[in-house]
Structures are given as C-alpha cells and as structure tokens.
Structure 1
C-alpha cells in the first residue's frame, strides 16, 4: 500500500486550490495519507524561499494572476484579498493534528474546509469558534481542539523539521518515500507515479 506524506499550510491559496484531489487520488490507489501542517514562513526562511511580503512586485503580480486562473480552471470561488490573511495558522494546524490523532471524522474535509474558510468565505481560521465549527462539519468532536494542545504544538514543530530534512521547500508538498511533488499542479504527476507510469 502506498503512503503519502502531505506537507501543507491552510493559509496557502494553493492548498485551497488543491481542493480534495489528493484524497481522490489516495482513494483511487488505496494509499494512506499523513497530514503534516507546518509554518510556511519558517519553511521558506530555512530553505531559501522568500516570504510573500518580501517578494518582488513581479512575483506578487504573477501569483495573483495564477491563483485566479487556477480557481477558474477548477471552478472554485476565490477571494484574492481575504479579510483574514495573513493569519496565524497555528491554532487551525493544532486542531488538524489533534483531529488526526483522535480519528472519527473526515480529515481531508477539515483541511479543505479551513483553507476554504480563509480563501473563499472570509472567516478567521485562527478563531476558536470557526475551528470548532469546521471540526463539527467534518465529523469530529469540536472539543478535540482543546485536547492535546501541547502535543499538537510539538508535532507542528516536528513537521517543520521533517519537511526541511526531506527536501520540502514549499506548500503544498506531497512525498511518497523519496519521490517529491511540489504544488497542487503536480497532483496529476503524483497519480501517475502511484500508477507506476511516472
């Protein structure tokens, strides 16, 4: 059985634009997925990337065009200037980590729901009420966000260290062993790899 390690942050527009295609691919190939939220700012700083605010204007302009094209391509609503962005992703990430440990719900739906809340619904994904609502919508006990907070914070830091050690430098990033796929636009390649065709 194939296994996919998914390094991501729900504050990334490209994580939102990935939708739940990863979950569809995993189901198609009977693969397991380990969700590994991390701090993208720290990841960029440690791997030669540049924080969005510090990028050249031409890069910012291209990103704006690209995310709008990708949203149209996949039929997704996208607010290019969310009311709550940038936002602290740690509380939502801790909830994802705690939910993954607890089980009982749809983790892919939770991850996509949090990203959608930021990029399409103008909701503050650092707000406890928003997190609890999305946990419930995804079939988890909303109180899971309050349990194991310290362990979740530790895992969040460990995810970053693992990402750096494995050659991850952006989000979303998908790893199958030593095979790495960066960006939601590489999901087709991930599927081809799992099929043994790439």
Structure 2
C-alpha cells in the first residue's frame, strides 16, 4: 500500500526552497501521495520552543550564514542569501497554494517551488499579487485563484498550524509519513527515501 506524506512548509523558508523538487521525485518513485500544508512558521516557532531568525543567538546566525550557501552549492540551485523581499507576508502565497491544491489541475509542487524561487533566487516579493499570479500561471493554474478562496485559505492556513503542533512538527520543511515517521529538513530527504523503500 502506497504511503501518504503531509508536507509542512513555509513559502518563506530557505530550506524549503533548497529541497527543490526532491520530495516530488521521491513521492513519484514510491507512488506516495503528498498533501501540502503551508503554515505560519513564526507562530509554529512560538508554539514549539523555537525562535524567529531575528531573535536567535549570534552563534546560530553565524552558522546559518555558512550552512545555507553550503546547502545551495550541494543542490546547484541559484541562491541569494539576503533576498530583497525577506521577510515578507507569507499568507497570500500560502493561500494561493491552498487554493491551487483544492482546485487541482496543475503542478502543485512546481507552484511551491516557483514561489520559493521567486523569493530566494529572483528577488521578487511573494506577497505581491502579480508575483503570485505569475507563479500560478507558470505552474498550470488559473491565476485568478490568487483572488478566490481567501476565507477558506485563511482557515486552512490556521488549521495547518494546529495540525502541525499536534503532529509534533517544530520547523520547516517537515515531512510526516502515515507510517508515523517524521523527517525534519531538506537534508533528511534521503532518509525519507530510504524509509519509503523499507530500509529505515
């Protein structure tokens, strides 16, 4: 029986960006389903003992400044360590992901990657309607989804946070498999692969 993965993410997360399309490739390899669950990562940190980057100790931020460029080099993805529009309001792009998932018919993983790429490689503000609509269109969705379902998007966005806390999620990207196993971080995708293969 194929597994299902709940993918908790923030459309502002550099680590979610550096995951690229590896989750989608792994899911396709094993026939696993994926539900995308964008959430407010700052609220998640507040609820689970984490801190926003601006509040972290300088030693942690110094490590982050080394680790992110290293991870970007490993993936080969273009990466701007200090994007022009970060942080910004993640809610509008998250609502678009939720609306697109409900609507179907496009490349949902591609949409998430396009939004993250817009922030971390293209210096675009993912809170802006025109940026979100462009990401929707290039991923095969109706750009008008950015204007619809705002109320249900907000409700789902809040519900995703509650579900994350209940599932012991404390950061992003976070992958929760219906087997009961969880994997935190894009650097654990190989472990997720091995788990779905029955080796871990």
Relative to the length of structure 1, the TM-score reads 0.99
Unaligned regions of 5+ residues in structure 1, if any? none
Deviations 1:60-87 (A, max 9, x none): 1101110100000111111000000011
Shift of 1:146: 1.2
Deviations 1:37-94 (A, max 9, x none): 0000000000000111000111011011101000001111110000000111000000
Shift of 1:112: 0.5
SS in 1 for 2:83: coil
Alignment of 1:73-112 (within 5 A): 73-112=74-113
Shift of 1:145: 1.4
Aligned residue for 2:61? 60
Deviations 1:146-186 (A, max 9, x none): 11110010000000000000100000000002211000000
Alignment: residue pair count: 198
Alignment of 1:138-157 (within 5 A): 138-157=139-158
Shift of 1:27: 0.4
Following TM superposition, where does structure 1 have runs of at least 4 consecutive aligned residues deviating by more than 6 angstroms? none
> Matched residues in 2 for 1:72 and 1:188: separation?
17
Aligned residue for 1:69? 70
Relative to the length of structure 2, the TM-score reads 0.98
Aligned residue for 2:194? 192
Alignment of 1:117-128 (within 5 A): 117-128=118-129
Unaligned regions of 5+ residues in structure 2, if any? none
Shift of 1:122: 0.1
